[in-house]
Structure 1
């Protein structure tokens, strides 16, 4: 499958989607951009720049990934994750909190990391990467802030920039990049981009995001010497299941492009 056919098949998949959809894919010698500069509610994709900023601060000695953080009951929030359900006396390292933030999208872990880093620092990281639409305006599960009109935003093109920076940018050492990739590769939510991929043929490191009416996924995908960066954002949904199917179909098309070039 060549790049033109891949784009045509992705457009066919998009035509069946009942929501508003944005797709960005960076291939070794080609880029597919479909509404990629459109802002969306970030949902849990905002956790990608939070991850980057934490490792940036680690590189500069402002935070120790092995530092132990208490998880007080009063700081725990619902939604995705496990910390809100565990026993009262818990302490985890910063790296453990980052891992939970990514692989099970733990909202309590995320809020503890935001407090430790500072929202301003996270947004400064977004500015330093020249992200056009990405901003952290509230913590996870902050319904009061949401009622007041505060939300977290991003775009497909911005998340592509984040993935590229994480994977090969000069902002981080090889050690930090390897650690971040390892965390993303342990992702437990695999019903979207990875759902129809053959894990024996490709390496995938991804992060999902979802809210009522919103389904996102982003990933770094490798097959032999080829690397692709992909982001799919969908909102304005009456129900979420069909959007997950659309994202899985787009993931399968990318998988086939990388592993079956003559398809």
Structure 2
């Protein structure tokens, strides 16, 4: 872990921008600006997923509830291109929100769950600095200074809800983990590792000058959590390479730990 930390600090030192990192590997922690607030981009969709599953458990909504496509917006996702005849279940929308980062699905979930309820849930989970202030692709809100924000530390707390504790039932935890393993974007934390050998459940996000990713790594009964937030970037491609190196370092640490005699 010490060698990994040294490499990580070296990689971050060359970054043209600012970064916040929080990593936990089998109880060993590394933090770098982990309490600093960053634009969340699409990693905010992880706590929305958790609140959706919580409300389903509480009987406030049903995962099988069927909805028509509404509030179409651009950016990532596929719903914006589909016909008005298409209907989807809440589970479908949660899945699209994570796997292809569908912004239309996300906005539909925000409307269904309630922005206030999502924020209250995040506070109860201990996400002290994470706030959902606007829907996806709401440029008018951005111009008014309203942006969704989080910290690397908050994201680690959020990821642990999916694998630990009793905030969600075991069934919901399993579903959340499964959905996140199907995320289709693999150019950051999982970009330089063999995902056939190790389970990676992740959610990434990006905006101009912003590159974020958070992930749960599982290998032979061992678990690692990682959250990397980057802002004010001059070179977004290089920043993604740095995040990939971080993911590879976590992978190597887990593999070494599991193969030590």
The alignment's TM-score, normalised by the length of structure 1, stands at: 0.96
User: What does the per-residue CA deviation read over 1:218-242, in whole Å, with 9 as the maximum and x for residues that have no partner?
Assistant: 0000111210000011110123111
Shift of 1:29: 2.7
User: What does the per-residue CA deviation read over 1:20-67, in whole Å, with 9 as the maximum and x for residues that have no partner?
Assistant: 011101121311111100000110011011011111101100010010
Q: Does 1:56 align with 2:54?
A: yes
The alignment's TM-score, normalised by the length of structure 2, stands at: 0.97
User: 2:37 aligns to what?
Assistant: 39
User: 1:80 aligns to what?
Assistant: 76
Aligned pair partner of 2:133 in 131, 137, 147: 137
Q: Which runs of 4 or more aligned residues in structure 1 lie more than 4 Å from their structure 2 counterparts after TM superposition?
A: none
Matched ranges for 1:194-205 at <5 A: 194-205=190-201
Q: Does 1:238 align with 2:237?
A: no
SS of the equivalent of 2:202 reads strand
User: 2:27 aligns to what?
Assistant: 29
Which residues of structure 2 form unaligned runs of 5+?
Answer: none
Q: Does 1:120 align with 2:116?
A: yes
Matched ranges for 1:72-221 at <5 A: 72=70, 75-221=71-217
Asked if 1 retains the 8 angstrom alpha-carbon contact of 2:25 and 2:254, the reply is no
Shift of 1:166: 1.4
Shift of 1:68: 0.2
Aligned pair partner of 1:6 in 4, 7, 16: 4
CA distance in 1 between partners of 2:84 and 2:238 (Å) = 39
Shift of 1:140: 0.2
Asked if 2 retains the 8 angstrom alpha-carbon contact of 1:205 and 1:219, the reply is yes
RMSD across aligned positions (CA): 1.2
SS of the equivalent of 2:239 reads helix
Shift of 1:201: 2.2
SS of the equivalent of 2:160 reads helix
CA distance in 1 between partners of 2:23 and 2:99 (Å) = 22
SS of the equivalent of 1:178 reads helix
Paired residue total: 259
CA distance in 2 between partners of 1:95 and 1:82 (Å) = 16
Q: Does 1:229 align with 2:225?
A: yes
Asked if 2 retains the 8 angstrom alpha-carbon contact of 1:201 and 1:259, the reply is no
Which residues of structure 1 form unaligned runs of 5+?
Answer: none
